[in-house]
Amino acid sequence: MGKAYIVGAGPGDPDLITVKALRCIQTADIILYDRLVNPELLKEAKQNCSLIYCGKKPNYHTLQQETINHLLVKYTKQGKNVVRLKGGDPFVFGRGAEEVEALVEHGLPVEVVPGITAGVAAPAYAGIPITHRELGSSFAIVTGHKPKGKPVDINWYGLATAVDTLAIYMGIANLPYICEELMKNGKKADTPVAIIQQGTTSEQRTVTGTLGSIVNIVKKEEIQNPAMIVIGEVVTFRDKIKILEEGEKAESYATIS
């Protein structure tokens, strides 16, 4: 019997992979990888490793989740060292829990290897701290998309009134709805907002505005998925520092003005 590893590949920059995740890639017999996994990481796989693409786009899935679960079980039963490589962290809107459940139901050994999630990393590369002693002492990670479209079953009142910073995944298509719900439930229209497209990659782009203006800005700038929405006063910190981005890898350069 083999073993399956549900591995977080990080948010895009291949240097943000963890040591343990890299070791899993290097020793895998089979790697089932997602669309947002940086291709550079796959070059670390051994020569005879089989690579299986499981990418998912909005409204289009290369493989259905049930098929992915089946492949994980199948190859692990064959005695393979199987890696399910997922963008970000496998337990943050990655359906990693469902994959673990499928393996456990078949009595197969499985291990989860956490990864850096985009909700923390993308803002950091854009010069935005997800928390700040003066600007935000709490944050919530929120999905901006549900299987049937708009995230109507989310407690928008609680998010608008009880949390300082919101990091919203997969929300560009529903951005008008999200902004409307937050303002309707107590967030001020002038609350700062940042949208970070392709966070931590060389294609990273960041636009900023407010709840009242960001929809028009995103439309004008043609911002598309994958993108992270950050809402809260911590966004204003971006104005105080300069980060190398927009075509260059954001490394440890920061200047406080």
Q: 155-211, pLDDT tens digit by residue?
A: 999 999 999 999 999 999 999 999 999 999 999 999 999 999 999 999 999 999 999
Name residues whose C-beta falls within 8 Å of residue 147's C-beta, 6 or more positions apart in sequence.
none
Residue 254 has pLDDT above 60, yes or no: no
Rounded percentage of the chain residues whose pLDDT exceeds 70? 91
Catalytic residues: 34, 56, 170
Confidence of residue 242 (pLDDT cuts 50, 70, 90): low
Residue pair 235/193 in contact (Cβ under 8 Å)? The answer is: yes
Residue 59 has pLDDT above 70, yes or no: no
pLDDT at res. 63: 86
Residue 98 has pLDDT above 90, yes or no: yes
Residue 142's identity, in one-letter code, is V
Name the CATH topology of 3-113.
Cobalt-precorrin-4 Transmethylase; domain 1 (3.40.1010)
Residue pair 106/26 in contact (Cβ under 8 Å)? The answer is: no
Q: What is the token pair recorded at 143?
A: 């999905």
Q: What is the token pair recorded at 28?
A: 């895998």
Residue 108 has pLDDT above 80, yes or no: yes
Residue pair 99/5 in contact (Cβ under 8 Å)? The answer is: no
Specify which residues 205 forms β-bridges with: 197
Specify which residues 57 forms β-bridges with: 60
* Residue 78: strand, helix, or coil: coil
- Mean pLDDT (the chain) is 91
Residue 90 has pLDDT above 80, yes or no: yes
Residue pair 88/115 in contact (Cβ under 8 Å)? The answer is: yes
Specify which residues 142 forms β-bridges with: 168
Q: 131-170, pLDDT tens digit by residue?
A: 999 999 999 999 998 877 788 889 999 999 999 999 999 9
pLDDT at res. 58: 62
Phi, then psi, of 7 in degrees rounded to 5: -115, 130
DSSP conformational letter for 177: H
- In 10 A of CB 159, how many CB atoms? 20
* Residue 227: strand, helix, or coil: strand
Residue 118's identity, in one-letter code, is A
**Residue-range domain boundaries for the chain:** 3-113, 118-256
pLDDT average, residue stretch 25-46: 97
Judged by phi (left if over 0) then psi (alpha if -120 to 50, else beta), residue 170 lies in left
pLDDT at res. 252: 36
Residue 247 has pLDDT above 50, yes or no: no
Class of domain 118-256: alpha beta
Distance CA 202, CA 247 (A): 5
